[in-house]
Amino acid sequence: MSKGYIPKDLSFDSTAREKLIKGITKISQAVKSTLGPCGQTVLIESPDHLGGITITKDGVTVAKSIFLDDPVENLSIQMMKDAASRTANVAGDGTTTAIVLTEALIKNGSEMLSDKGNKTEVIKEIQSLSKKILKDLDKQSKKIKKNDLLDVATISANNDKEIGHIISEAYKKVGVNGIVTVEKSMTSETYAEVTNGIKVDRGYTSNLFINDQRKDECVLEDVKVLVCDTEISNLLQIESVLKPIINNQQKLLIIGQCSQNVINTLAANVVRNGLKFCNITPPNFGYKQHELMQDIAIALGAKYFSEKTGDDLSLITEQNLGKADKIIVGKDSSVIIKHNQMTDEIEERIKELKVQQDNTTHPEEKKFINERVASLSGAIGCIYVGGNSDVEQKEKFDRVDDSVCAVKSALDEGIVVGGGLALYNIAKDLVKDDIKLKDRSMARYILSQSIVAPFEQILKNAGIDPDSIKLTKNKNYGFDVKNEKYGDMFKLGVIDPLKVTKNAFINAVSVATTILSTNAIVTHARIRQD
C-alpha cells in the first residue's frame, strides 16, 4: 500500500441505500417509542462503561448516543443526528418528530422509486410540494395566548403539570420577549427565579469555544468581560488584562471584533490548555452598534473602548473589565446574566433613552429605543431543576430544557394543533388534490403516506390502533391521547409550536431526499483483527 493512502470500501445503488435504511431503522426504533404523552423512556449506558446511566425521553440525547459498527449504517446515523440536532438548535424541540418523519419518508420513497425510474423528477417534486406544506402549516397556526403557555410547556415536559406551571409562570414574569434559562438545582426542588441580564444578537466566532456539546453553547460562570469596537489584531494589544486572567485562572468574554488569527489563538488555548475564553462580534452596525455597545458596557459595569471616542485599547486595565455571573453563548445569540440589582448608571441610561423615545416620531427608531430599554431593564428567568438522584435530575433537566425551548418557539411563530394532527390534515388534502402528472402523483403519495407517521406513532405508543380513530372535517378536531377523549385540540390544550413542526419537517425532507438520491457511498475500509 502506498504511503498516505487509506483503502476505501464502495457501495452502489440499491445495496448502498439498503444499508442506509437499515441504519435509519435502528436509530428510529430507539427514538420513536419516546414520542407523545405515552412515550417510553430510554436507558443509555455512559460512554466510559463505568456503570453510569442516563434515563431520557429526549430524542436528540438518544440519537447522539448511538454509533454503529457498519460504516454505511453509521453514515445514516450521523445524518439523522444532524437532522435532530438542527431541529433542536433552531426550535429547541421536535427531534423525535424529525427522526420519525425521516424514516417514513425514506421507507415510503424507497418502495416507490427504483434505480431506473424517474427518481430525480420525483425528488424535485417532493421538494417543491414541501414548500406548499410549510405554507399550509402557516395557515393552520394561530398566535399563542398567555393561557396557552401552560399547555405548551406541559406537553413538552412529558405532560408534567408541575414543570409546565413553573415554566409558564417564569415566562409570564419576564414577558413575551424575555429569556428563560435552565440550571441544575443544588437541592431536590425545582423552582424558578428572575434575575437581571442582557441578550446580544451575536454568537461565538469559533465553534471551538463550545463546552456544552448537547446544546452547542459556550457556558461560563463568573466571567470578566471586555467591550470594545477597536479590532484586536494582535493579543499584545490586550496583554495587560490577558496575563492576570490566565495567571489567576479566570474566564474572559471579549465582545469585540477580533482578527481571525486572534480568534484561532484564543480557540487553540481553549482546546489545548483548558483556558476559558469566548469571543462574540459587536451587535448591529453604524451608530446603532456604538449605542448598543454602550448599553452592554453600562449593564456589565465595563468601560467601553471605542475608536469613535479615541480610546486606546493598549491602556486597558483589569478595572476596565465588566463582570457577568454567567454567559450562555450560542451560534447566533448570547445571554449575559448579572445577578446584581439595577445600578444608578443603568437607571440613568434608561431615563435618557425614554426621553429620546418621546422626542422621535420615526416608528423604527421608537422600536429600536424600546428594544434597548427592554434589554437594559430586561429580566431573565432561570429554572433550577432538582432531583433525588443524579439520574432523576438529568432526565428532568432534559424535559425542562425542551419545554423552555418549545415555549420560546411558540412565542416566536405561534402554535398549531398537536398530536401530529397538523401534518395529518395536510396529508388528507394531498390525497384529495387532482393529479395529472405521474411524477407529481408519486411525490404526493410518498408525502401523504409519510407525514402521518408522527400522528400514528403517538397513538401506537398509547396502545391505540390509528385506524380506530374517527375524525371529522373540522381540522381542529382530534383525539387527546392522554385523557382519551375527542374534541377541539386547541381547547383541549393539545398544541405544538409551529416552529417545532416546521423545522422537524424541513430537516426530515432534507435528509430523506439526500439518501433517496444517493447512488454511491465511499467509506474507510475497516480492518478487523481477530
Which structural domains are found in the chain, ordered by start? 8-142+415-524 (1.10.560.10), 161-413 (3.50.7.10)
Q: What is the pLDDT of residues 111-125, one digit of tens each?
A: 887 655 578 888 999
> How far is Cα 182 from Cα 184, in angstroms, rounded to an integer?
7
Q: Is 68 helix (H, G, I), strand (E, B) or coil?
A: coil
> How far is Cα 196 from Cα 329, in angstroms, rounded to an integer?
17
Give the list of residues 6+ apart from residue 456 with CB closer than 8 angstroms, or none. Answer: 420, 466
> How far is Cα 23 from Cα 511, in angstroms, rounded to an integer?
13
Is the Cβ–Cβ distance between 84 and 68 less than 8 Å?
no
> How far is Cα 164 from Cα 390, in angstroms, rounded to an integer?
21
Q: Give the per-residue pLDDT at 434.
A: 54
The residue among 30, 88, 101 whose CA lies nearest residue 424 is 101
pTM: 0.71
Q: Give the per-residue pLDDT at 369.
A: 81
What residues form DSSP beta bridges with 10? 522
Is the Cβ–Cβ distance between 215 and 313 less than 8 Å?
no
> How far is Cα 158 from Cα 467, in angstroms, rounded to an integer?
25
**Residue located via cell numbers 425521553:** 57
- Please report, in tens digits, the pLDDT of each residue of the chain (530 residues total): 445 567 777 777 777 778 888 888 999 999 999 999 898 888 888 765 555 788 888 777 888 888 888 888 888 888 888 887 778 777 667 889 999 999 999 999 988 876 555 788 889 999 999 999 999 999 999 999 888 889 999 988 888 899 999 999 988 888 766 678 888 888 999 999 887 788 888 999 999 999 988 788 999 999 999 999 989 999 999 999 999 999 999 999 999 999 999 999 999 999 999 999 999 999 876 778 888 899 999 989 999 999 888 888 989 999 999 999 999 999 888 989 887 666 788 888 888 888 888 888 887 788 778 777 767 776 778 899 999 988 888 889 988 988 898 898 898 899 999 999 999 999 988 876 555 556 678 889 999 999 999 999 999 999 999 999 999 989 999 999 999 999 999 999 999 999 999 999 999 999 999 888 887 778 777 665 54
Q: Give the per-residue pLDDT at 391.
A: 83
The residue among 406, 513, 525, 502 whose CA lies nearest residue 136 is 502
Q: At 53, list the grid cell.
A: 446511566
1 burial class (0-12, 13-18, 19+ CB within 10 angstroms)?
exposed
Determine phi and psi for 327, rounding to 5 degrees.
-125, 140
Q: Report the C-alpha dihedral over residues 184, 186, 192, 196, rounded to 10 degrees.
A: -80
**Residue located via cell numbers 439595577:** 342
118 burial class (0-12, 13-18, 19+ CB within 10 angstroms)?
middle
Q: How far is CA 310 from the centre of its chain?
A: 40
Q: At 66, list the grid cell.
A: 448511538
The number of residues making up the chain comes to 530
Q: What is the pLDDT of residues 114-165, one digit of tens each?
A: 655 578 888 999 999 999 999 999 999 999 988 888 999 998 888 889 999 9
**Residue located via cell numbers 433525588:** 388
The residue among 391, 413, 403 whose CA lies nearest residue 159 is 403
Is the Cβ–Cβ distance between 452 and 424 less than 8 Å?
yes
Q: At 490, list the grid cell.
A: 386547541
